[in-house]
Amino acid sequence: MYIENLIEQQKTQLVIFDLDGTLVDSVPEIAAAVDDALLALNLPQAGVERVRDWVGNGLSKLWERALQYADVYTPEFHQQSYQDLLMHYERNVNQSTCAYAGVTELLTVLQQHGITMAVCTNKMERFVPGILQKQNIDGFFSMIVGGDTFAEKKPSALPLLEICQQFNVPVENTLMIGDSESDAKAAHAAGIACVLLAQGYSQGIDLNTLPALAVKTDIQSLLM
């Protein structure tokens, strides 16, 4: 099994997971929130496929991209309307998000090997526990870090280093599993090995050009 061989080779003690595009597919409900917010402003809706290319840098950056798409972006308008997006997202969150096939099996394998697990996402921290709980995977994780937990978020190395420090695990014994440029860059900056999954939200970037240990098709490919 790929993941078992990898953690043995790396002497892994801690695995840090991204959330959206890695553990769960959340784009449909994010797109619904964006379209609801745009519609309320009498702006053209974006649709799921456009929003899929905008996900990965937090809701604030996503809203900036949505306003740019609608050709109405200014920093002032972004600031004025951002709370409206959050309101619509709170109405849509956890309605259609689902865990990718193989997630529970992967987490179970890691747990059986005594690996500590954490989530590090650029989504606001308050939205994360409910998502994990609804997918029945919350019990696997010992720490949740959101985009607003610390002063910096991915692609900064800071949140990953804070997680390592929390569990007193050296970076060389830590593994990051993600799906995007921000995951790869954060892990690289922290000195942490990273595996990227092509199943997620790459914003059109060729994952093979990023500083990662490997690029795998999806969660299930880690179990083969």
- Which sequence positions are flagged as catalytic? 18
| Cα 219 → chain centroid | 14
Could you tell me if 197 and 179 are in contact, meaning their C-beta atoms sit under 8 angstroms apart?
yes
Residue 26: CB atoms within 10 Å? 24
What is the 8-class DSSP label of residue 66? H
Q: How far is CA 154 from the centre of its chain?
A: 10
Closest alpha carbon to 107 in 120, 98, 116: 116
Amino acid at 26: S
